[in-house]
Amino acid sequence: MTDGSFDLVVVGSGIAGLYAALQAHEHGASVLVVTKGAVDEASTRHAQGGIAAAVGPGDSPDAHLDDTIAAGAGLVDEAAARILVHEAAPRIADLVRYGVHFDAADGAVALGREAAHSTARILHAGGDSTGLEIELSLSSLARREGVTILEHTLANRVVVEDGRARAVEVFDTVDGRHARYEGGHILIATGGAGQMYRVTTNPPISTGDGVALAYDSGAEIIDMEFTQFHPTALVLPGVPVFLISEAVRGEGARLFNAHGDRYMLRYDDRAELASRDVVARATHREMRETGADHVLLDITDRDGAWLAARFPQIYRHCLDAGIDMARARVPVSPAAHYTMGGVRTNTWGETTVPDLFAVGEVACTGVHGANRLASNSLLETVVFAHRTVERLFRAGGDVPAPPARTPDARALPPLDGEREVPTVEGLKRLMWDHVAIERAGKGLATASAQLTRWAAAVPTPRDRAGYELRALLTCARIATAAALTREESRGAHCRTDFPELREDWRRHLVYRTTEGGA
Ligand code: FAD
Ligand code: SIN
């Protein structure tokens, strides 16, 4: 029984889902987009700094590639990253064609600077409102083009029959009804899993649903030990965490600890523009050593008019919180920001389950390795969404080989009989305390045992919160198991008991279910 049948069923309406839907629609495919909140509820709308592309004078895709590989700490898939940087310009052109207005200066596109980029190469919109501009442009175009979008519709199962993904089962979060939509192909574009952590820049939708959907259907999950922490979030009691973009440091902002010491000078020659893992870890250590719950970001050498023009959203947000960035240093601290791991795909969006595809933050193409280069995420979504749709709907051409299953894929620790009912707050606290910027074997083992007890007692979901808790548990279990297994420090994964990078660990950890699945 089915409630509808489409050439492509897309789960998620951030940049990845909407861009893929629009591209497939252009190919004449029938497309359904299901999304668990309102159409524009997505991480995408919160993106600030912008989208990286080597389009400026003197820049080149190869320079962008070098920076991407250097940031990724030995785990970047070079072939995938080469595609990322070389296919950037036409994908930016697509976004412009879809109505995105990037900022310009002196008749040329304006380019910002972010950490670990060797040059200014970040296109932005509305100063610091790049994501909002993209999300609203794509969602309004998708509506105008007549793409079918079901809001408040949460995907809770990918149906696999005869070894292929055939359909998506959904739950209407308003009236509680269940439905099933068949797709010639299923595309997961559900974003990241930042909500695993007590402190995160991610919006409430980022609960790792797509990783859990894919894992439960038998697809492989890779690199989940690598969560990126952003060093500069404004964390105030009782209000959502708010990001202070790396682009602010790109414009010259400096970081000071509680003693007034510009500490980044002691950690890295690039100081505040060292790669994100380095700045987040240094900031975390300075806070611990000074006993403070924040450090201070200083851009007071810019005046209010300049700040209001370049960073209108951030400047206004800080003013509303009682901080005038032109006069006072901003208290900032690290927050979970980006899920580098996810559903393992090849460079055509294919997972290890036939007809199941994944694109965007939920996917792991290998371009980020152990530490994502700033503003490569929005770029990754459009480059690989484009290739996925080409793979599916372009007439002719070779069909690439799907990714082979990993022979030594791992399984999660078995449920050993001990049971305890989980709560989302408990999970977020556990992950923040034991699986965050710095981790060690003892804390990871504690977290793993607790997660196993919770997984054994997780209630059958009856509402959106229930489904999200179940998804978060799956993500947390994989992330913790992988972090416990990886006995080294690399990129965003810092083991205090194994502080060295180890050449024999230049490899990936892959998880695949042993129960059910494809
Ligand atoms: P999202 O935009 O998160 O969209 C996921 C969609 O899936 C949502 O519509 C959600 O409701 C839906 N969904 C989830 N689960 C389900 C389900 N079970 N059923 C149905 N629908 C579901 N990256 C950059 O490159 N540059 C930046 O400047 C930048 N700034 C950032 C600032 C912030 C504050 C944050 C949080 C992230 C930032 N990032 C940035 C990262 C980037 O925004 C994201 O990686 C990117 O937008 C992810 O896009 P996506 O389409 O994959 O996922
Ligand atoms: C930021 O603006 O600092 C976020 C950029 C990113 O996450 O790529």
Please spell the DSSP secondary structure of 94-115, one letter per residue.
Answer: HHHHTT----EETTEE-EE--T
DSSP letters for 63-103: HHHHHHHHHTTT---HHHHHHHHHTHHHHHHHHHHTT----
Here the tokens at position 411 are 């399984």
The pLDDT > 70 percentage for the chain reads 99
Tens-digit pLDDT profile for residues 362-397? 999 999 999 999 999 999 999 999 999 999 998 776
Q: What is the pLDDT of residue 47?
A: 98
Q: What is the pLDDT of residue 377?
A: 98
Tens-digit pLDDT profile for residues 449-499? 999 999 999 999 999 999 999 999 999 999 999 999 999 999 999 999 999
- Region 95-122: mean pLDDT is 96
Q: Which atom of ligand 2 is nearest to the CA of 373?
A: 8
Instruction: Choose which CATH entry (3.90.700.10, 1.10.3210.10, 3.30.300.20, 3.40.47.10) describes domain 227-337.
Output: 3.90.700.10
The alpha carbon of 159 and the centre of ligand 2 are apart by a number of angstroms equal to 35
Q: Ligand 1: residues whose CB is within 6 Å?
A: 11-17, 34-37, 41-44, 46-51, 130-131, 154-155, 189-192, 201-202, 205-206, 209, 243, 338, 360-362, 375-378, 381
Beta carbons of 117 and 247 less than 8 angstroms apart: no
Mark out the alpha helices in 299-440 (DSSP H runs).
304-310, 312-320, 376-393, 424-434
Tens-digit pLDDT profile for residues 431-456? 999 999 999 999 999 999 999 999 99
Q: What is the pLDDT of residue 518?
A: 45
Chain centroid to CA 396: how far?
A: 33
Whether pLDDT at 63 is above 90: yes
Confidence category of residue 416, pLDDT binned at 50, 70, 90: confident
Tens-digit pLDDT profile for residues 6-23? 999 999 999 999 999 999
For residue 468, give the amino acid letter: E
The alpha carbon of 303 and the centre of ligand 1 are apart by a number of angstroms equal to 32
For residue 349, the number of C-alpha atoms closer than 13 Å in the C-beta half-sphere is: 29
The alpha carbon of 275 and the centre of ligand 2 are apart by a number of angstroms equal to 12
Closest CA to ligand 2's atom 1: 245
Q: Which residue has the tokens 């709907």?
A: 393
Where is 211: in which H helix or E strand? helix 209-216
Q: Could you say which ligand is closest to the alpha carbon of residue 361?
A: 1
Distance CA 17, CA 12 (A): 5
What is the maximum span of the chain, computed from C-alpha positions, in angstroms? 66
| Cβ neighbours around 238 below 10 Å, total | 4
Annotated active-site residue 470? The verdict is no
Mark out the alpha helices in 275-375 (DSSP H runs).
276-290, 304-310, 312-320
Nearest residue to 200 via CA among 404, 388, 46: 46
To test ligand 1's pocket by mutation, which of 13, 18, 32, 43 has the most ligand atoms within 8 angstroms of CB? Answer: 43
Q: What is the pTM for the complete model shown? A: 0.98
Confidence category of residue 266, pLDDT binned at 50, 70, 90: very high
- Region 72-86: mean pLDDT is 98
Q: Which residue has the tokens 């989980």?
A: 422
- Would you say the CB of residue 510 lies under 6 angstroms from ligand 2? no
Length of the chain: 518
Name the DSSP letter for residue 30. Answer: -
Radius of gyration of the chain (CA): 22
Catalytic site residue from 45, 82, 166, 276 = 276
Q: What is the pLDDT of residue 517?
A: 45
